[in-house]
């Protein structure tokens, strides 16, 4: 097979896949297009497990990388001899240094030469049996190459989770929620659909979730509840169109009418909500798998949504509690300000009364002083007597006043002091 030239990104990805430094899986979405391009050239293959794929090299890919690295390997010249060790020298130096070679902050060219030597050692099978090479500092920092015993480590596969669906189950042994569920599929698919619901019910209860039938009028078949979050699940069956000869009166007549028939392809869907937009919500039969194979993915999505809703609820409750505390503080400050104004008003009233009483007494004294040099009329004496009596009545000092009694406070009394808060509930007016 003719070798096609790879770009730098594709070559780096192929090295990762062949040597297992950092396996590429479907989690590396930014490299998906690169992996597909390598797969189209027959250099890698993708192994799918539980809905996830991981890239693995083909024999053609290993040969292509070995040829490329051999081509790119530095060649000594008379004018500028290479200082980079070749693959054999690298293995020798690792064995002599106890299995670890540490190159402090190499230049980009030095780093590239060491990496080429490392890849050539792997490609030429120079690594001692029962050992493998690892390195850190691929692009920056110190470059540390180690020769380790054992096979190259592989990224741990996610724990396998299954939702066992029985191949056959009598109706009397179905979970009650599965036996009474509304399942809008054809009669041929009814038993299978109910067995799937039966498996969903038992798996959900094993996870301490709650299962129930939806309310009357709902199109859902089952409701799974986690904490305060409920997730309705709906069954659907595909269909396809076929000619409908029932409308033709004669055998020679052209059939133009169409009718639909059930496809026997089942699909489960989670209720679409704005809060989970962009998330996967449909799982069903496809050419490469059946709905039963995707039930673990459905449970993972339900768990993700439940956690997201729990965190969103917690954040909302924290926000509401913060708002409530701010409102309570504003209400307390408003009561304090209103009481202060109430006392200040009482004080000013007393001061004004005292000043008025003092002024009246001074006025009466002035009238009497003036009468000492003239004949004081009987009417004037009566007037000063009444004036002094009035001053005694309004003067607060002899009464020895204290703090005034607090007023009766209504919510509307507090409104002027709340700076935009409602006096009735924890929100802005």
* One-character DSSP codes across 289-305: --GGGGHHHHHHHHHHH
Structure-token match 């004081």, residue found: 376
Residue 375 has pLDDT above 80, yes or no: no
Distance in angstroms (rounded) separating the CA atoms of residues 25 and 53: 6
Cβ contacts of 389 within 8 Å, gap of 6 or more: none
Q: Which residues of 72-104 are buried (b: 16+ CB within 10 A; e: fewer)?
A: ebbeeeeeeeeebbbbeebbeebeeeeeebeee
Confidence (pLDDT) at 188: 92
Three-state SS string over 362-389 comes to HHHHHHHHHHCCCCCCHHHHHHHHHHHH
Tell me: the pLDDT tens digits for 270-291? 988 888 888 889 999 988 889 9
Mean pLDDT estimate for the chain: 84
Confidence (pLDDT) at 284: 92
Residue 72 has pLDDT above 60, yes or no: no
- Mapped onto helix, strand or coil, the DSSP state of residue 102 is strand
Long-range CB contacts for residues 66-73, cutoff 8 Å, separation at least 24: 66/123, 66/124, 67/3, 68/3, 68/6, 68/11, 69/116, 69/119, 69/120, 69/123, 70/120, 70/123, 72/116, 73/116, 73/117, 73/120
Confidence (pLDDT) at 410: 94
The token duo for 169 is 């189950």
Distance in angstroms (rounded) separating the CA atoms of residues 150 and 131: 5
- Can you tell me the mean pLDDT for 212-220? 89
Domain 1-72 adopts which CATH fold?
Answer: Arc Repressor Mutant, subunit A (1.10.10)
pTM confidence score: 0.52
CATH of 82-152, one of 1.10.1060, 3.30.70, 3.40.50, 3.30.110: 3.30.110
Domain residue ranges of the chain, discontinuous segments joined by + = 1-72, 82-152, 171-309, 324-417
The token duo for 197 is 């619901």
Q: Are strands 229-243 and 222-226 parallel, antiparallel or unpaired?
A: antiparallel
- CA 260 to each of CA 190, 197, 226, 247: distance values in angstroms, whole numbers, following the listed order: 18, 26, 38, 14
Half-sphere exposure of 18 (CA within 13 A, CB side): 27
């Amino acid at each position: 097979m003719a070798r096609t030239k790879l770009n730098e990104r594709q070559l780096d990805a192929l090295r990762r896949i062949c040597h297992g430094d950092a396996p590429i899986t479907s989690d590396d979405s930014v490299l998906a297009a690169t992996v597909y391009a390598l797969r189209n050239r027959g250099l890698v293959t993708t192994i799918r497990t539980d809905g996830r794929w991981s890239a693995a090299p083909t024999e053609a890919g290993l040969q292509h990388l070995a040829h490329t690295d051999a081509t790119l390997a530095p060649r000594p010249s008379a004018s500028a001899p290479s200082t980079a060790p070749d693959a054999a020298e690298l293995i020798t130096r690792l064995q002599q240094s106890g299995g670890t070679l540490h190159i402090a902050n190499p230049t980009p060219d030095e780093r590239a030469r060491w990496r080429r030597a490392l890849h050539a050692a792997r490609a030429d099978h120079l690594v001692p049996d029962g050992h493998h090479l690892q390195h850190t500092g691929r692009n920056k920092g110190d470059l540390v190459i180690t020769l380790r015993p054992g096979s190259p480590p592989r990224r741990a596969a996610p724990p396998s989770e299954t939702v066992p669906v029985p191949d056959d189950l009598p109706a009397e042994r179905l979970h009650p929620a599965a036996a009474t569920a509304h399942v809008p599929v054809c009669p041929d698919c009814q038993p299978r659909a109910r067995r799937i619901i039966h498996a969903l019910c038992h798996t959900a209860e094993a996870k301490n979730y709650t299962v129930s039938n939806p309310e009357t009028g709902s199109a859902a078949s089952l409701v799974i509840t986690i904490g305060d979050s409920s997730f309705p699940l709906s069954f659907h069956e595909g269909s396809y169109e076929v000619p409908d000869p029932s409308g033709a009166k004669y055998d020679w007549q052209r059939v133009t009418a169409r009718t639909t028939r059930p496809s026997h392809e089942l699909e489960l869907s989670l209720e679409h909500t704005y809060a989970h937009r962009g998330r996967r919500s449909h799982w069903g039969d496809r050419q490469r798998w059946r709905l039963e194979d995707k039930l673990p993915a459905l449970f993972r999505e339900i768990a993700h949504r439940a956690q997201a809703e729990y965190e969103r609820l917690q954040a909302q409750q924290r926000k509401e509690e913060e708002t409530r505390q701010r409102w309570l503080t504003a209400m307390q400050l408003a009561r304090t300000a209103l009481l202060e104004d109430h006392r200040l008003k009482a004080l000013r009233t007393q001061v004004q009364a005292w000043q008025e009483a003092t002024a009246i007494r001074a006025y009466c004294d002035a009238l009497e002083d003036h009468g000492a040099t003239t004949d004081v009329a009987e009417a004037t004496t009566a007037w000063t007597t009444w004036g002094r009596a009035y001053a005694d009545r309004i003067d607060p000092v002899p009464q020895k006043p204290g703090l005034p009694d607090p007023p009766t406070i209504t919510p509307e009394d507090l409104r002027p002091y709340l700076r935009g808060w409602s006096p009735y509930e924890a929100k802005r007016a």
